[in-house]
Structure 1
């Protein structure tokens, strides 16, 4: 009889936990059902900042010279293994001089295929991302390690202003031997596939 009593007591103790779990599960399921098909999937994720800044301290802005960083190099000593740089990227973006400041990037994952204009309109990207921000992310995954940049077949894209101040899109993929970096005009109506990661500078 004592064993039966203990078993009953344990069941009574477990009931509140079971009820709480069912309530949480039901809320989660309801939230997922209420998601509209057109609602974007925007994880609450921030990518690495360009510069590390301790609380209460300021950091002097630095000049970032793109051509000194973005070079095709897949040797073991490369700071970042880059196997290919597109002609447009080299002509319009690698010639830039930027002021590198402390900026964090947000990540938006495309739930459905979308083109450049639609992405810019939805996320609101007036100023674009710095090449210095992109380079910082590449340094953290110099050899294709896991991180904010995805290393599967889906692209990572950044909206960046070129040396003339025009907004363009820079796409980054891990090709196995190294990173492949290209660029294209924002108005070329290219459709990016579902799963593409968009990196952009949001509100601090």
Structure 2
């Protein structure tokens, strides 16, 4: 059997390359884990309609805020008149999140896409998420794609997930999936063993 020998110089070069490439292969360009890919930044205003440009308020202006009552927005309704078609609300979401009252205001979220299947704990660790998303922010994005239009949210088989605090102040995962007839909204604990698939869109402040 023929044995293949490597030139000693070539072996040294390959060894140096491997040592140098290993750390980089596990990190994205901005130092984040390679399991997530940064996407675009999304601006959303409660009063903005689909197709309208985002016009952020000036720093001197007093921000306009109003109460956001979750149960008045997150309701199962797939009729043509529905602002956001919702075909299903999970029991956990209804019990833990739909009872919240928040403040609606202009928001800015960063999007990411999962390269590899990951749990919620792994995702928050990779992204170093410190601030949670509000339900008002989730609704703001849903309203721009209320009938399944293309936009920041995935409308294929990939879910969109947000890290939101429930009515008790505990951080959880809210997921939104376009199911064809409408949006399917669910929720799960942050420590759940559920693995989010490759291609999942993640949003955080």
Give the TM-score taking structure 1 as reference length: 0.77
Decide whether aligned partners of structure 1 residues 153 and 35 sit closer, same or farther in structure 2, where only a CA change above 3 A counts.
farther
How many Å separate the matches in 2 of 1:42 and 1:49? 21
Which of 37, 40, 43 is the aligned partner of 1:48? 43
Residue 157 of structure 2 corresponds to which residue in structure 1? 153
Is residue 104 of structure 1 aligned with residue 93 of structure 2? no
Of stretches 45-54 and 88-97 in structure 1, the one that deviates more from structure 2 is: 45-54
Q: Give CA-to-partner distance per residue, 1:56-85, whole Å, 9 cap, x none.
A: 433222111000100000000001000000
Contact 2:118-2:195 within 8 A present in 1 as well: yes
Name the structure 2 match of 1:136.
140
Q: Residue 37 of structure 2: SS of its match in structure 1?
A: coil
Query: Do the aligned partners of 2:177 and 2:184 also contact (CA within 8 Å) in 1?
Result: yes
- More strand by percentage: 2
Task: Measure how far apart 1:48 and its partner are.
Answer: 2.8
Aligned pair in 2 of structure 1 residues 195, 44: CA closer, same or farther (>3 Å)? closer
2:181 alignment partner, one of 177, 182, 185: 177
Secondary structure (helix, strand or coil) at the match of 1:47 reads strand
1: CA distance, partners of 2:179 / 2:94: 18
Output the CA distance in 2 between the equivalents of 1:35 and 1:110.
18
Q: In structure 2, do the counterparts of structure 1 residues 110 and 50 end up closer, same or farther at CA, with 3 Å as the change threshold?
A: same
Residue 166 of structure 2 is matched in structure 1 by: 162
Cα distance in structure 2, aligned partners of 1:173 and 1:69: 17
Alpha-carbon RMSD: 1.7
Contact map agreement 2:65 2:103 (CA 8 A) in 1: yes
Structure number, greater radius of gyration: 1
Residues 1:36 and 2:33 are matched in the alignment:
no
Determine the C-alpha separation between the residues in 1 that align with 2:175 and 2:149: 18
More helix by share: 1
Question: Where in structure 2 are there 5+ consecutive unaligned residues?
Answer: 1-22, 28-33, 47-54
Provide Cα deviations, 1:114-167, integer angstroms capped at 9, x if missing partner: 101111111122331000000010110010000000001111000100000000
Tell me what 1:192 maps to. 196
Question: Secondary structure, in 3 states, of the residue corresponding to 1:173?
Answer: strand
Q: How far off is 1:102 after superposition?
A: 2.4
Given the alignment, which residue of 81, 85, 88 partners 1:81? Answer: 85
Structure 1 SS opposite 2:42: coil
CA-to-aligned-CA distance 1:73-121 (integer Å, 9 cap, x gap)? 0000001000000000000000000112322010011111110111111
